[in-house]
Structure 1
Amino acid sequence: MTYDQFNQLCQSLPASSYVMQWNNAHVWKVGDKVFAIGGWSNDKSKPAFIFKASEHNYLFLSEQPGYRPAPYFATRGMKWIQHFDSSPSTDEELRYYLTESHRIVSLGLTKKKQRQLGLNQS
Structure 2
Amino acid sequence: MNLFDLAEFDGFVSGLPGVSLVDQWDSRVAKVGDKVFTLLSPADDGARITLKCSEESFEILTALEGIGQAPYFAKRKWISVAATAPLSEDELTHYLRRSYNLVAEGLTRKRRAELGIVTLD
Q: Under a length normalisation based on structure 2, what TM-score does the superposition of the two structures give?
A: 0.86
Structure 1 or 2: more helix by fraction: 1
Q: 1:10 maps to what in 2? A: 13
Query: Aligned pair count?
Result: 117
| Cα-Cα RMSD | 1.9
C-alpha offsets along residues 40-89 of structure 1, whole Å, 9 cap, x if unaligned?
5242xx1110001011111111101221111111xx22310111134796
Distance 2:86 2:16 in 1: 21
Q: 1:78 maps to what in 2? A: 76
Q: For residue 85 of structure 1, what is the amino acid of its counterpart?
A: A
Q: Which runs of 5+ in 2 are unaligned?
A: none
Q: Under a length normalisation based on structure 1, what TM-score does the superposition of the two structures give?
A: 0.86
Q: Which runs of 5+ in 1 are unaligned?
A: none
Q: For residue 65 of structure 1, what is the amino acid of its counterpart?
A: E
In the alignment, is residue 66 of structure 1 matched against residue 93 of structure 2?
A: no
Q: 2:99 maps to what in 1? A: 101
Q: For residue 95 of structure 2, what is the amino acid of its counterpart?
A: Y
2:64–2:85 CA contact under 8 A, matched in 1: no
SS of 1:106's equivalent in the other structure is helix
